[in-house]
Amino acid sequence: MQLFMGIASEASHFPVSFTLVYVVGFIAAVTLGSVAWYNSKRPVGWEDKERPDVVPKVNKEETPGVGNPK
């Protein structure tokens, strides 16, 4: 019994770096998703709302990409 308790206590290291990757990834996904949502066409009822100051304006015409090669 003591052998199993010793193995269990040694193997229960909490993976802090693994959890940190998930937290940072979640924050990045929420931030990028918010920027994309605010720069997209407004949903019904949100057409007259102003863009928050912290969200940068992204112009599709100036950015070369797959759909707009220059």
In a 13 Å sphere around the CA of 10, the CA atoms on its Cβ side amount to: 6
Residues 21-46, buried b or exposed e (16+ Cβ, 10 A)? Answer: eeeeeeeeeeeeeeeeebeeeeeeee
**1-45 per-position pLDDT tens digit:** 566 566 555 555 678 888 899 999 999 999 999 888 877 777 677
Of residues 46 and 16, more confidence is placed in 16
**pTM of the complete model:** 0.48
pLDDT of residue 14: 73
Higher pLDDT, 67 or 36: 36
The residues spanned by each domain of the chain are: 18-42
For Cα atoms 27, 36, 57, give the angle at the middle one, nearest 5 degrees: 110
